[in-house]
Chains A and B, each alone.
Chain A
Amino acid sequence: MKKKNIIGVLASIFLLMGVTLTHAYEAGEVPNVGTIHGQVIFSGTPQAPVQFAVEKNPEICGQERSLLKVETHNGFLVGAVVVLENVRKGKPFPTQAFRGNLPGEGEFRYEGGNSLGLRVKTKGCNFGPFTGVIAADEAVRFQNQDTIKHVLHSFVSKDTKGRILRTVHNQDLSPRDEIDRVFPSDKMKDGVVVRIICNRHDFMQNWLYVVDNPYFAISDQEGRFRIDEIPPGTYTLLVRHPVLGEQRQEVTIEARGDLQVGFQFVNE
């Protein structure tokens, strides 16, 4: 009986390891890759930025700050996060950096390689752009380049808009300090988005969508996005925005194909 139990436990462990391995993304050469590109259209009345009177550290943060939660340009949506789901093998994670809106010089930098390698450079009371991406189970480096303290508070949510937010980390980010924080998958569970805020400066708010592969893009000033080097196959393409929600499409990438898709969000 005991022997059977041991075999059962070992079998379960191997099974779990197998499940884990099959879910891990693997960087490697894939032939005949294709591309998706498109635009995210916004229709309706653009939202006005939320205005904040700066109470703490105006000498660093400025006297007034605003937060534009839905950024549009000529009818296109800026900062929508486009994610291709369930790609298990393909290109390495790219190296890229995205600046936050002025004032402030916050930046999300993705080191790339075998992992996403997110670095959050906080400067001028700005973590970085309003939206970005994050990966579970790898360290995110938070660098405070300000000479004041920030209190980094991160939450995870199971839905795109973050209706129920669960605290993941809540801790001081001392002046000129940097800390590494892992967002463990057991804590993230089926969370799709991480919200980060500063408890001392309420205009510092950002949304990071969870990705497990490098096939993501963030719509630019013209609402455009492009994801390349995609292995041929059928996938779910998601577009997510913290205020406008989520849209999805089934897409099929042909060998060496170039697929154009479009999304439209309506602000009622």
Chain B
Amino acid sequence: MKTRGIRYLLFGLLMGSYGLVCFLPPAEGAVLDGLMGGVEESLGKRAEKKGERLIIGNFYQAERPDSHAPIGVMQDHTHNKGEFMFTYRYMYMYMDKMRNGTDNLSINDVLSPSRENFAVTPKNMTTQMHMFSAMYGLNDTVTLMAMLPYVMKEMEHQNRAGANFTTHSSGFGDTKLAALWRLYAFETPSIGAHRFHLNTGVSLPTGDINPTDNTPLGNNSLLPYPMRLGSGTVDLLPGLTYTGVRNDVSWGFQALGTVRIGYNKQGYKEGNRYQVNTWGAYRWAKWISTSARLNWQQWYNIKREDGQLQTTVGPAQIPLVPTAYPKLQGGQRLDLMGGVNVLFPEFMGLENHLNVEAGAPIYQYLDGPQLRQAWSFWVGWQIVM
């Protein structure tokens, strides 16, 4: 009864927020327009002394390669009223070697009864995602975003007998819906442009949380947490984004959260995840820029557990595999990424961006044993119309 009440409440909140966005009278500016009079006067005087104009509320990103953040960053910019953007992103992530804390573990370390004492250990994992997203400038205040990923995962294992086996899962992941609220923007030629927007969104549980595959335990065995395609819960996606640009240099900062609401039908919920992105880019020519990005992520352990997931094996109740344990899922990681953005301003009569980014962690602490990330690669094509 209580669960049903929470569901109705969430549904109401969701519908209410969409009603708010869709049926409000058309907004004509940023949320904080008109509330920053003191700041504007001060900036205006400084600009006047330099013979410049102060422009308030211009969120337009000139057609430049770095007008969009590196492709691994999402919801980084807003759109003008009536403007559409379609994006296809492809991500490849490779994880290898087990780690506990900041220490790498060998296969023997994980399997040895005198060490971690698991019957099976993951050896490596690849995750591929095809992400299809669209953004639409509903009005001069709100930009809407929807994203549906298709996820493919593959994990290679080894057991104590030295035998290897691989599990696979694939399918659509969780659907993300977001509204980006323009907060404030100001610019002058000498201080550049500075733009702030609020990210609000929800993740809907369209990804499979019961993937199965053939394993030594049997055919169609339920796969553990890292192989699942979604969280199984409705998640809130709050955040704040700041971007700046001056001459050939641009930069940005984004803090995003994934806050899980309730427990999924398997009886657990994934830990909340928080990430901070900061990036800088340099435009070498009108059509190309390069970028460097730092991405800090912290994610927490799973709460409760999936009761249908086998966690031990044999009469001795030997722990089966680390990926089946809710308390071995959290961690922190700092990635360093490098990217290239290329602009095709009039390709097929539309503004097109081809963006590539790749990088690797420079720090990761894992509540392990857990597979560490080795590197990741992103490529995306964006069409603005």
The chain A residues found within 8 Å of chain B, CB to CB, are 55-56, 151, 153, 155, 162-172, 184, 187, 199-200
Contact = CB atoms under 8 A, between A and B. Distances in A.
B316 interface: no
Contacts of A164: 40, 44, 47, 53-54, 56
A171 B81 contact: yes
Contacts, number: 65
A166 B82 contact: no
B57 interface: yes
A245 to B, nearest CB: 13
A187 B28 contact: yes
A152 B188 CA distance: 19
A166 B62 CA distance: 17
B60 to A, nearest CB: 5
A56 B286 CA distance: 12
Interface in B54-109: 54-60, 62-63, 80-83
A56 B54 CA distance: 26
A55 B286 CA distance: 10
Interface of B is mostly: loop
A167 B82 contact: no
Given A155-B58, A172-B80, A199-B62, 19 more contacts: A151-B80, A153-B60, A155-B55, A163-B44, A163-B47, A163-B53, A163-B54, A164-B44, A165-B53, A165-B54, A166-B29, A167-B55, A167-B58, A168-B29, A169-B140, A170-B58, A170-B80, A171-B80, A172-B83
Q: Chain A interface secondary structure, helix, strand, loop or mixed?
A: strand
Nearest to B62: A199
Interface residues of B, number: 28
Contacts of B82: 171-172
B248 interface: no
Contacts of A184: 28
B188 to A, nearest CB: 10
Contact of B29 (A56, A187, A199, A200): A187
16 contacts: A55-B286, A56-B345, A56-B346, A162-B53, A163-B47, A164-B56, A165-B55, A166-B33, A166-B55, A166-B56, A167-B58, A167-B185, A168-B29, A171-B83, A171-B140, A172-B83
Contacts of B83: 171-172
Contacts of A187: 28-29
A187 B33 CA distance: 9
A168 B28 contact: yes
Nearest to B34: A189
Nearest to A162: B53
Nearest to B185: A167
Contacts of A168: 28-29
A49 to B, nearest CB: 19
A151 B82 CA distance: 11
B60 A199 contact: yes
B56 A165 contact: yes
Interface-central residue, A56, A163, A166, A169, by most chain B CB under 10 Å: A166
Contacts of A170: 58-60, 80-81, 140
B48 A163 contact: yes
Contacts of B58: 153, 155, 167, 170
Nearest to B57: A167
Nearest to A55: B286
Contacts of B56: 164-167
The residue among A55, A155, A168, A172 with the most chain B CB atoms within 10 A of its own CB is A172
Contacts of A171: 80-83, 137, 140
